[in-house]
Amino acid sequence: MQATNYLFFLALLLCTGVLPAQNPALVPLPASVSRGTGTYALPATVNVVAEDPDAARVAEFLTDFLEVAGHPTSLNGTGTAAIRLRLTDDADGEAEGYHLLVDDAGVTVEASARAGLFYGVQTLFQLIGTEGAPLPYVEIEDAPRFAYRGMHLDVGRYMFPVDFIKKYIDLMAHFKFNTFHWHLTEDQGWRIEIKQYPRLQEVAAYRDETVEGRAQTRDRGQETFDHERYGGYYTQEEVKEVVAYATDRSITVVPEIELPGHARAALAAYPYLGCEEGAYETAETWGVFPEIYCAGKESTFEFLENVFREVLPLFPGKYVHIGGDEAPKDRWESCPHCQKRMEEEGLENEHELQSYFVQRMEKFLNEQGKTMIGWDEILEGGLAQNAVVMSWRGEAGGIEAAKQGHDVIMTPTDWCYFDYAQADPATEPLGPQAVITVEKVYGYEPLPEELTAEQQTHILGAQANLWTEYVKTPEHAEYMAYPRALALAEVVWSPQLVRDYASFVQRVKALRPLLDRWEVNYATHIFGK
């Protein structure tokens, strides 16, 4: 056939739908998808067979999904298997990778580890949710681009109920995120129960009122308040429940206990933790406060170590986040304890004192078998030995840390701050004035070009941060996160080469029925309305 005839014939086939239709609408896009010709109709009762006891729990997620989608199911029933879940003993297989095949024998999902099987089943949810029955023949080979795929939630400014935290985790898992960064302590509230320090629950977990509007600390005097006492905390039992729920969904929870800054609530509960013995109160406005933990007194370290002794057993993951950001040094400059510490330790300035503080905490956490993460300010004054840097003030901190041989998680404000508006702030709910559209997030590239290939191996992945100064409700939090989280999911999971924004928008459109079924309060700007 001549080339022109061939093209004409091809166009005709595409128009008449004889050729395989376009690939299924999947987010994040798998590494490789090949669609065959033919379809497999799910039988009236879908028999799901978990060929390995370790696959059984994943099979339960699948049968639950199918039942809600209107397909009666049986699990390891006697009939022919419609869907097989298989753990292979491929020792070289990627733990989070999977192989999914739909052909005339039905559906097979194979993986070398439970996490991969779980992700294969998430892909199957989308196939069933968007293609319905029958399913197109398709073969998918998939594995993530980055090992760390995170979403953060600030529960210090406003607290969110356990049920919502679980929903947040569920949605993350559906889109193959694997790390939930739980920002648990703030100037405005301490949200995790520490039994040895009851005043954290009685005092630090509450504030007397909250500033209205966009006022920051520096506006003090002009702002108005809501006059409503606000607060609460998660009990250790609730924390265990959340962690177990996340683990079940292949998500690791990273707790963040902020130090030395963002500590006003803790100081309100235990004023001896500050440089000046005096009255402190849990913050009622937003911004950065000078009241931070005293780096000179031994009692500060004793407190923090005791806090971590209760926190660490609740979180089985290897990472613990210690904050480290936005710690003004004003109090340390005039504190005799802090100055004495600097003299004794031969520290040149207060940045080095912060490094002393952080490195001392790191040594303690390493002894407990944990790896410490900190915001990029922990670079100032010298990086702790094994610390992982979370780069938020752009990518410079992450680049510097990777050059020093440290692992890095990218969360730069210009792409990853989901508290920023996703469209013209004048038409969006109250929040920061900056705008990060879905398309901007989608265009993020976590591997900086100026790093060598070896240095790039230190970029573990990326994360979106959802700060909540202006986000009081679960519905609002979800609105800020979705659909931007879907864009980031594709950035951290899919091969860079397959990313295409127009295709992404089409696929998210196709996924809307599924998002609606999961009752996601997503923003609709990308759909043109």
The footprint of ligand ACM (CB under 6 A) covers 325-326, 375, 392
The one of Zn ion, ligand ACM, none whose footprint includes residue 338, by CB under 5 to 8 A per kind, is: Zn ion
* Cα 193–chain centre separation: 22
Helices 114-131 and 56-68 cross at an angle (nearest 10°) of 10
For residue 390, the minimal CB distance to ligand ACM (Å) is: 7
* Cis? peptide before 43, omega within 30° of 0: no
Asked if 119 and 92 touch (Cβ cutoff 8 Å), the reply is no
Any contact of residue 347 with Zn ion (CB under 5 A)?
no
Which residue, 318 or 340, has its beta carbon nearer to Zn ion? Answer: 340
Least distance CB 476 / Zn ion (angstroms):
38
Closest CB to Zn ion among residues 299, 503:
299
- Pick what 296 binds: ligand ACM, Zn ion, none; C-beta below 5 to 8 Å, kind-dependent: Zn ion
3-class secondary structure, 37: strand
**Minimum distance, C-beta of residue 100 to ligand ACM, in the bound complex (Å):** 37
Q: Cα–Cα distance between 34 and 383 in angstroms, integer?
A: 46
Q: At closest approach, how far in Å is the CB of 172 from ligand ACM?
A: 20
Round to whole Å and give the CA distance between 292 and 276. 10
Name which of Zn ion, ligand ACM, none residue 289 binds, using a CB cut-off of 5 to 8 Å depending on partner kind.
none
Report which of 364, 408, 403, 411 is spatially closest to residue 387, judged by C-alpha positions. Answer: 408
Q: CB-wise, 110 or 154, nearer to ligand ACM? A: 154
Our CB check for Zn ion shows the closer of 207 and 329 to be 329
**Shortest distance, position 54 Cβ to ligand ACM, whole Å:** 38
Examine residue 240 and tell whether it contacts Zn ion (CB under 5 A).
no
335 contact, one of ligand ACM, Zn ion, none, CB 5-8 Å limit per kind: Zn ion
For ligand ACM, the nearest residue by Cβ is 325
Query: Looking at beta carbons only, is 250 or 391 nearer to ligand ACM?
Result: 391
Please report how close the Cβ of residue 417 comes to ligand ACM at its closest, in angstroms. 7
Residue 451 lies near Zn ion (rule: CB under 5 A):
no
Q: Of the candidates 140, 200, 259, 294, which one interacts with Zn ion according to CB under 5 A?
A: 294
Beta strands in 61-174 (DSSP E): 73-75, 83-87, 98-103, 106-111, 135-142, 148-154
User: Which of these, 272, 291, 273, lies nearest to 283 by C-alpha position?
Assistant: 291
Cβ(274)–Cβ(203) below 8 Å: no
The option from ligand ACM, Zn ion, none interacting with 146 (CB < 5 to 8 A, set by class) reads none
Which string of b and e fits 281-298 if b means at least 16 CB within 10 Å? ebbbbbeebebbbbbbbe
Question: How would you label 479-516 residue by residue, b for 16+ Cβ within 10 Å and e otherwise?
Answer: bbbbbbbbbbbbbbbbeeeebeeebbbebbebbbebbe
Q: How far apart are CA 138 and CA 101, in angstroms?
A: 6
Closest approach of Cβ 505 to Zn ion, in Å?
52
Three-state SS annotation for 288-329: CCCCCECCCCHHHHHHHHHHHHHHHHHCCCCEEEEECCCCCC
Cα gap 427→429, rounded to integer Å: 7
Binding region for Zn ion (CB under 5 A) out of 256-264, 334-342, 347-355, 430-438: 334-342
Report the partner that residue 28 touches, choosing among ligand ACM, Zn ion, none (CB closer than 5 to 8 A by kind). none
Q: Which does 325 bind (CB under 5 to 8 A by kind): Zn ion, ligand ACM, none?
A: ligand ACM
Closer residue to ligand ACM (CB): 38 or 394:
394
Interacting stretch for Zn ion, rule CB under 5 A, among 190-198, 333-341, 459-467, 495-503?
333-341
Contact 151, 180 (CB under 8 A): yes
- Are 461 and 500 in contact, with CB atoms under 8 Å apart? no
Kindly indicate which of the ranges 107-115, 195-203, 243-251, 269-277 contains the residues binding Zn ion, using the contact rule CB under 5 A: 269-277
**Which one of ligand ACM, Zn ion, none is in contact with 275 (Cβ closer than 5 to 8 A by kind)?**
Zn ion
Query: Whose Cβ is closer to ligand ACM: residue 325's or residue 500's?
Result: 325
By beta-carbon proximity to ligand ACM, the closer residue of 167 and 183 is 183
Q: Contact between 338 and Zn ion (CB under 5 A)? A: yes
Residue 90 touches which member of Zn ion, ligand ACM, none, C-beta under 5-8 Å by kind: none
The CA-atom distances, in angstroms, between 333 and each of 261, 264, 292 are 15, 18, 12
Where helices occur in 52-106 by DSSP H, the ranges are 56-68
Helix (H, G, I), strand (E, B) or coil at 170: helix
Pick from Zn ion, ligand ACM, none: which does 392 bind, CB < 5 to 8 A by kind? Answer: ligand ACM
Please, what is the minimum distance in Å from the beta carbon of residue 437 to ligand ACM?
Answer: 20
Q: Residue 103 binds which one of ligand ACM, Zn ion, none, with CB within 5 to 8 A depending on kind?
A: none
Residue 410 CA to residue 460 CA, distance in Å, equals 8
Binding site residues, Zn ion, CB under 5 A? 275, 294, 296, 335, 337-338
